Amino acid sequence: MTTLRRIVRASAFMALALLFIPTGLVANPPAGNPSDEYGIRIARLKYGGGGDWYSDPSSIPNWLNEFEKRTGIQTHAEEKVLRATDEDLRAYPFLYMTGHGTVRLMPDEVEALRSHLENGGFLYADDNYGMDKSFRKLVKALFPETELEVLPNSHPIYHVFYDLPGLPKIHEHDGKRPVGYGIIVDDRLVLFYSYESDIGDGLEDPRVHNDSPEKRELAARMAVNILMYALTQNALP
């Protein structure tokens, strides 16, 4: 994509995002203190079960830094950590979860998260290796009548800002091909699950996993697409 086309696309999506950002996704500075940081913010979902919900700590700040740099849309780089039953969950429509090992929510947390997703929320779950089995059980509890479905490579989430051939493979894991799954409710993608890819590891500081620049760039592009898609999917044809 040429520089001019990047500028045009970034400007168009910045306008769309400002029109379609759900209420509360922008963290506003306190009155009388305009120097405080504000902008698009990501909330990390805290869960039980023993999995490390806190893994890849540098991924969210790097993700939001790249998003702002590439799209021109201001971000709030400090993540917010939430449980599904926290009172201010509705103020953070974009939720992110990752980790190794078991993912478990209590029944009241499942109900709260389901309500959040059905009422405008979006969950991005990134398999950091080892969470797949328990995460699929969680999805079944969340949406017992809806199956995780493979999103084809033609899905807008792979093309909304960058044109990607599909979900990139960042880490080896079990050597399987990466697959992007989704849950669609009332014609809206409410959950995106990246399996055997590990986007979060590719977003971490370079020294953490020693990923190649090419892998890191693919992870950044996919992460930008995911957040942009969540912001603008209601405006897409």
Place of tokens 């974009």: 94
**Over the stretch 10-41, which tens digit does the pLDDT of each residue have?**
444 444 444 334 434 444 433 433 334 568 99
User: How far is the CA of 47 from the CAs of 52, 107, 134, 161, 184, in angstroms?
Assistant: 9, 12, 12, 31, 23
Give pTM, 2 decimals. Answer: 0.86
Tell me how far apart the alpha carbons of residues 157 and 223 are, in angstroms, rounded to a whole number. 10
Top pLDDT among 173 and 217 is at: 217
**Over the stretch 67-83, which tens digit does the pLDDT of each residue have?**
999 999 999 878 899 99
Name the range with the highest mean pLDDT among 10-14, 32-36, 147-151, 207-211. 147-151
Q: Which domains does the chain have, with CATH numbers?
A: 3-235 (3.40.50.12140)
- Residue 190 near residue 118 (C-beta atoms within 8 A): yes
Residue 226 has what pLDDT? 98
- Please, is 160 exposed, middle or buried when counting C-beta atoms within 10 Å of its C-beta (0-12, 13-18, 19+)? buried
**Over the stretch 84-137, which tens digit does the pLDDT of each residue have?**
999 999 999 999 999 998 999 999 999 999 999 999 999 999 998 889 999 999
pLDDT(190) > 80: yes
Residue 200 has what pLDDT? 93
Top pLDDT among 31 and 154 is at: 154
The pLDDT mean for the chain works out to 85
Burial readout 67-102 (b: 16 or more C-beta within 10 A, e: otherwise): bbebbebebbbebbebbbebeebbbbbbbbbbbebb
